[in-house]
Amino acid sequence: MQRKASPPLTVIVEMPATRGYKRPKAAAEFLGIHVSGFWKLVRAGEFATIKLAPRITVVPVDALDAFVARKAATQQEVA
């Protein structure tokens, strides 16, 4: 007896209001770093990612802008 295939699971996630989202590769290009460097920053807690599906991760553009602003402010304090 064959089992009937169940419909795909649908999860509704409320996305925070932002100017948009970037995938890891695009986020790394935006920051001027390699994708592995992007994931190192995520593990270090510099910004959070949002998991949309098992193989789809995004990061808000606002989070990337805030990271760049923090780094620029740090560079100005040192100089």
Nearest to 19 by CA among 52, 65, 56, 57: 65
Mean pLDDT of 21-33: 95
pTM over 0.85? The answer is no
Greatest CA separation found in the chain? 73
Element housing 67 (H / E): helix 61-78
pLDDT top residue among 14 and 61: 61
Q: Is 11 inside a domain boundary?
A: no
In a domain? residue 6 = no
User: Distance between CA 69 and CA 66 in Å, rounded?
Assistant: 5
Strand partners, 60: 21
Per-residue confidence (pLDDT) for residue 75, from 0 to 100: 82
Whether residue 32 is predicted with pLDDT greater than 70 in this model: the reply is yes
pLDDT (0 to 100) of residue 11:
58
Residue 37, domain extent: 21-78
Domain count of the fold of the chain: 1
